[in-house]
A and B are shown apart, each in its own frame.
Chain A
Amino acid sequence: MLSVYAFIRIEEYTDSTFLREDIKVNFREEFYLNFIQDDRWRYITKGLGTTFAVTFFAVILGVALGIVIALIRSTADKSGSKSIVLKIADWICKVYLTVIRGTPAMIQLLIMYYIVFASPNVSKQFVAILSFGINSAAYVAEIFRSGIMSIDNGQFEAGRSLGFSYAQTMIYIIIPQAFKNVLPALANEFITLLKETSICGYIALTDITHGANTIRSQTYSPLLPLLAAALIYLIIVSVLSMLVEKLERRLRTDAR
């Protein structure tokens, strides 16, 4: 009985030209169903725009906030935190880092949407940017802090002995070197952030992932929409990595 079944299967599939035709036809149909029919491709393009916008503004917010936190933390570390204001600021930063890094980004997004704002009138995109920006800032802060602390103290002393203030020494001498050192880690964080935005769907915001998933739920055909979403992420990340590598090479002037 089993051998008969096997024989029939072999008969069916040995005609490989037939098989190829079959896949081609299938692919065309699937493609039409998932992307062309009812203009479903719009879900993907709309999602792409959202993913870009959320990532871009979250990166800006994350870097700005992250640098401020890194400066507070490293200034407190360097000066042995003598001033009470600095001590309190340092403590707040530490609590912030612990909470943000200790909870999942998805929970943070849900809390931001359902508890902090809890209003249907607020833009979902805005909530996502805020949530991801605040999340990313915690990681960026620690990356920058490690970069600042990795610069030899002699650089700092050289700057101060020329007459630069603490802030000027940071801006002209320490941060440019620290930035160069942390660029790979920073790029990694941005790539992680880009992929992390795929949870936007949980607040019904249409990013690439949510768009692809919507198509899947309409067509009951998961293969193409999900593969397309994966491919788009892969392409963005690859291009991003390439750009960072270029930037790194341009900044590597002093390394001979």
Chain B
Amino acid sequence: MQDNQVLFEIKDLCKSFGDNLVLDHISTEIRKGEVVVIIGPSGSGKSTFLRSLNLLEEPTGGSITFEGLNITDPKCNINKYRQKIGMVFQHFNLFPHKTILENMTLAPMKLLKKTKEEAESQAMELLKRVGLEEKANAYPSQLSGGQKQRIAIVRSLCMNPDVILFDEPTSALDPEMVGEVLNVMRDLAKQGMTMAVVTHEMGFAKEVGTRVMFIDEGQIKEENTPEEFFKNPKNPRLQEFLSKVL
């Protein structure tokens, strides 16, 4: 795969819950190697947008194309594409009945048909990368929030995804644990992982993001490079939002 290849192509994406229109004709694309940071006030639809990308929320209109295939087509086998789209949640969602190692090897063994040895050696390598190899046989309940989220990130990496979606990965963490999670994400970005990140961490957006997107009232009100985005915001809603959070 060459760089700059379009991974996600989103056209007129709409999502409504009953009469409530949450996403209002969103069109954009995400290219390989990009780190797209999505910000916006709460209730703006930014999480719904992110969750639509792997169809955890089923769009009510428009289309999403992933690696050239329309995944909103009802005939498409979404399970196949979700393997290539990692996801990290606000509340980690580790499997509490399985050890850390089992959390990481379950999907590769069952879905990619890896042997136990292959899956475990890959998992141990990833655990070393985030400095948690001694937790391999611990259960999620024995870990701190920051450790859980680092595990959740490497669990998604075990499937060798082409892109990882982060849904407010640091919002449920104690302040002193935010840094360790952001560090892992920063390393990932450096290695060229494509990422879409919904976050309130403006520092991360400025430093790591290649593009920042402001979603409000279900629409992308502004998107730009981080420098332009934070220095010269054009949309009045964005100006107001930034004045509050910066």
Query: Could you give, for residues 89-126 of chain B, a 1 whenever the CB lies within 8 Å of some chain A CB and a 0 otherwise?
Result: 10101111100000000110011000000000000000
Query: Could you give, for residues 181-197 of chain A, a 1 whenever the CB lies within 8 Å of some chain B CB and a 0 otherwise?
Result: 00000000000000000
Does A22 reach chain B (CB closer than 8 Å)?
A: no
Stretch from A35-43, A52-60, A97-105, A169-177 contacting the other chain: A169-177
Does B226 reach chain A (CB closer than 8 Å)?
A: no
Question: Do residues B110 and A172 form an inter-chain contact, with CB atoms below 8 A?
Answer: yes
A155-B86 Cα distance, complex, nearest whole Å? 15
Interface of A is mostly: helix
Question: Do residues A168 and B110 form an inter-chain contact, with CB atoms below 8 A?
Answer: yes
Q: Which of B79, B85, B87, B94 contacts A164 (CB 8 A)?
A: B79
Does B83 reach chain A (CB closer than 8 Å)?
A: yes
A158-B93 Cα distance, complex, nearest whole Å? 6
Chain A residues closer than 8 Å to B140, beta-carbon distance: 254
Q: A162-B83, A165-B79, A254-B139 are contacts. A155–B110 as well, Cβ < 8 Å?
A: no
Chain B residues closer than 8 Å to A158, beta-carbon distance: 87, 89, 93-95
Chain A residues closer than 8 Å to B94, beta-carbon distance: 158
A165-B83 Cα distance, complex, nearest whole Å? 11
A163-B156 Cα distance, complex, nearest whole Å? 10
Chain B residues with a Cβ closer than 8 Å to the other chain, count: 27
Question: Do residues B83 and A163 form an inter-chain contact, with CB atoms below 8 A?
Answer: yes
CB neighbors of B among A144-164 (8 A): 152, 154-155, 157-158, 160-164
Q: A161-B54, A163-B82 are contacts. A253–B97 as well, Cβ < 8 Å?
A: yes
Question: Do residues B159 and A163 form an inter-chain contact, with CB atoms below 8 A?
Answer: yes
Chain A residues closer than 8 Å to B106, beta-carbon distance: 162, 172
Question: Do residues A161 and B87 form an inter-chain contact, with CB atoms below 8 A?
Answer: yes
Chain A residues closer than 8 Å to B82, beta-carbon distance: 160-163
CB neighbors of B among A59-92 (8 A): none
Listed by A's residue number, 14 A-B pairs whose Cβ atoms lie within 8 Å are A152-B91, A160-B56, A161-B54, A161-B87, A162-B155, A162-B156, A163-B83, A163-B107, A177-B95, A177-B97, A180-B97, A254-B140, A255-B141, A256-B141
Q: A154-B91, A157-B93, A254-B139 given; name 20 further pairs at CB < 8 Å.
A: A154-B93, A155-B95, A158-B87, A158-B93, A158-B94, A160-B56, A162-B82, A162-B155, A162-B156, A162-B159, A163-B79, A163-B107, A163-B159, A164-B107, A164-B110, A164-B111, A165-B79, A168-B110, A172-B110, A254-B141
A172-B107 Cα distance, complex, nearest whole Å? 10
| Chain B, residue nearest A251 (CB) | B97
Does B142 reach chain A (CB closer than 8 Å)?
A: yes
Smallest CB-CB A-B distances: 9 pairs: A163-B83, A158-B93, A161-B87, A154-B93, A162-B107, A254-B139, A163-B82, A254-B96, A165-B79
| Chain A, residue nearest B51 (CB) | A157
Q: A154-B89, A158-B95, A164-B79 are contacts. A256–B142 as well, Cβ < 8 Å?
A: yes
A177-B94 Cα distance, complex, nearest whole Å? 12
Chain B residues closer than 8 Å to A152, beta-carbon distance: 91, 93
Chain B residues closer than 8 Å to A173, beta-carbon distance: 95
A238 to chain B, nearest CB (A): 29
Does B231 reach chain A (CB closer than 8 Å)?
A: no
Does B75 reach chain A (CB closer than 8 Å)?
A: no
Chain A residues closer than 8 Å to B156, beta-carbon distance: 161-162
Query: Could you give, for residues 138-157 of chain B, a 1 whenever the CB lies within 8 Å of some chain A CB and a 0 otherwise?
Result: 01111000000000000110
Chain B residues closer than 8 Å to A155, beta-carbon distance: 93, 95
A172-B139 Cα distance, complex, nearest whole Å? 16
